Structure 1
């Protein structure tokens, strides 16, 4: 490649789509042309899949970028961004590809646009190997708001594996910059709530079993805490296909918001799905985390771009977080420091680069 392209190796650490998403988002925000090689080399089917190509196309359009080799199966592409333009953008994975992952790659970009942006995203809303869209809105979004950014969300239709067909609309305003955050005091648990759902031909008893399983787990640790988990069947007019799942939210006295989630699985009882979702929260709480293991890696980009020093107390550092840190340091030159303060408790520190929105129309 020519010398003005920053080289990114897509096979390092997690070796999946996360490197692609984070690198392209930061390429646009920091205006750094990149060449990504070995895309998804760590996966059984390497290269770009329809899900990833949809994400590349979406942010290519938002940033008026020049892209080469963006085809299904490609293990290498170049990406040269331009100006981030406000407006309305649509993308359809035409599969059950996760709209939550589309949103993950687009959000950091959109906040540095010259004006408001509306995203119309079609695909899967509640999928394996990706955050359920409800997790992004109810758990990730409150943590994002600590950086001074948010988004409005409208669920038009749910879509599940294998057909997809889901549709969401997201609107947001650009920011001047991201504020640094300090989340190092877990506090005490104040409330646990959530939703257990079924869709299609599945009986609502599955939702009850998921919710009851989660409550059983929580009551072992918090016997006197009021836990409210709504159980329901999705309206057939807004849900495509069969699916079941649970999304849980835990809030603390210091404003921490942690989450857990699980989708129904034919290979396990519905009660076990509820156990798993609850365990994600309980594990984070036990390790002193102020965010759960999934939000942990989602915040790395915002820490790197923030104006000032951010500190977040977490549990064990996940491979996705290590990967996000690797990409953020390579793309932005921000420096991260991980301090172990005992057992599985760690503090992630980052002196952000203070990226300002030079395109915003004030």
Structure 2
């Protein structure tokens, strides 16, 4: 059984999700210990637990220690068959983080896989569902990945209650990716608000457009408004399209002006675009497992993050593939998986 130190590097839930996802993919029994040992709230949270249990269902794995607060789990997967699955992350736990983990092995299931997941679609410290749909998936499609995501209902903090449906077709292999320069043709976005006045979403969009225009950039931003969310909330995501996808987002909060939300997302995107690298810092870590599966891949990211460093460590340990980093932590870098 492969041993993995859960406190390594970033030492959070991402390590647990990536490790169990790759274990499911490669049918590798693993033991993860010291889970979130350096965090104020140690051990598995409900969100991490949902991802682990979801991966266990997908790969018919036997798990030990799968409970809230657990600092050690054993995960013994079998084969990935596919089928229809429903997972509830409860309250506003992140749908995006659970889906990120499931997407890695699901592509190599024997049959088509459909996930219906309930929880938070737009919550702090996790990718908005629109990011996975409009940045992650299009980039993975360049590697031959076949998936679709349908947003059925948004879920904001604290009640969540959002729902998505993801359909993933099985593939035999992933194609290598070589992305070292960005060529941008257009900028698009979605500004959304639930159980709040329509003008909140409109003001977010306007502020983002005005900030982008200062740099000579134009954006086509769609407005989404709904009154059927369980909690009030808002947010905006922007993404640049071309030979790549680069995304940035911001969430509304109580007392935070809509203009600030829009401006934050625009400033984030401008910062990424000015760097010139074809992958933003979030995709720079998300793509690591896929590079390992495909091999012969090289990318440039605007920032070599601690998440990317941790993902590389876990991926190398489970798959045996080695990465080459040309750059430093916290700075632009090229990452290669020969």
Which TM-score tier does this pair reach, normalised by the shorter chain? Answer: over 0.9
Tell me, yes or no, if the aligned pair for 1:157 and 1:240 is still in contact at 8 Å.
no
**Aligned counterpart, 2:303:** 316
**Aligned counterpart, 2:241:** 251
**Aligned counterpart, 1:265:** 253
The equivalent position to 2:174 in structure 1, one of 132, 154, 178, is: 178
Deviation of 1:267 after TM superposition, in Å, equals 4.6
**1:94–1:232: structure 2 CA closer, same or farther, 3 Å change rule?**
closer
The 1-side partners of 2:139 and 2:70 are apart by: 34
Q: 1:122-180, CA deviations, whole angstroms, 9 ceiling, x for partnerless residues? A: 11111111111111101111111111102122222222111111111111111101111
The equivalent position to 1:157 in structure 2, one of 153, 161, 167, is: 153
The 2-side partners of 1:185 and 1:309 are apart by: 17
Say whether 1:83 aligns with 2:63. Answer: no
Deviation of 1:305 after TM superposition, in Å, equals 0.8
**Aligned counterpart, 1:192:** 187
The 2-side partners of 1:213 and 1:334 are apart by: 44
The 1-side partners of 2:89 and 2:302 are apart by: 34
The equivalent position to 1:60 in structure 2, one of 34, 56, 62, is: 56
Say whether 1:230 aligns with 2:219. Answer: no
1:12-161 counterparts in 2 under 5 A?
Answer: 12-161=8-157
Structure 1 window deviating more from structure 2 (132-141 vs 278-287): it is: 278-287
The 2-side partners of 1:333 and 1:310 are apart by: 15
Listed as ranges, the gaps of 5+ residues in structure 1 are 352-362
The alignment partner of 2:142 has SS state of helix
Q: 1:260-319, CA deviations, whole angstroms, 9 ceiling, x for partnerless residues? A: 11101235322222122112222222222101111111100100111x311111112111
Deviation of 1:344 after TM superposition, in Å, equals 4.1
Listed as ranges, the gaps of 5+ residues in structure 2 are none
Structure 1 window deviating more from structure 2 (67-76 vs 329-338): it is: 329-338
**Aligned counterpart, 1:205:** 199
The alignment partner of 2:146 has SS state of coil
Deviation of 1:324 after TM superposition, in Å, equals 0.9
The 1-side partners of 2:235 and 2:210 are apart by: 17
Tell me, yes or no, if the aligned pair for 2:246 and 2:280 is still in contact at 8 Å.
yes
**Aligned counterpart, 2:214:** 220
Aligned residue pair count: 337
Instruction: Report the aligned-residue RMSD.
Output: 1.6
Tell me, yes or no, if the aligned pair for 2:107 and 2:146 is still in contact at 8 Å.
no
The alignment partner of 2:11 has SS state of coil
Structure 1 window deviating more from structure 2 (84-93 vs 261-270): it is: 261-270
The 2-side partners of 1:249 and 1:93 are apart by: 27
Deviation of 1:334 after TM superposition, in Å, equals 1.0
Tell me, yes or no, if the aligned pair for 2:146 and 2:171 is still in contact at 8 Å.
no
Q: TM-score, normalised by structure 2?
A: 0.95
**1:228–1:16: structure 2 CA closer, same or farther, 3 Å change rule?**
same
**Aligned counterpart, 1:287:** 275
The 1-side partners of 2:21 and 2:104 are apart by: 6
Say whether 1:329 aligns with 2:324. Answer: no
The alignment partner of 2:23 has SS state of helix
Tell me, yes or no, if the aligned pair for 2:96 and 2:132 is still in contact at 8 Å.
yes
Runs of 4+ in 1 over 3 A off after TM superposition: none
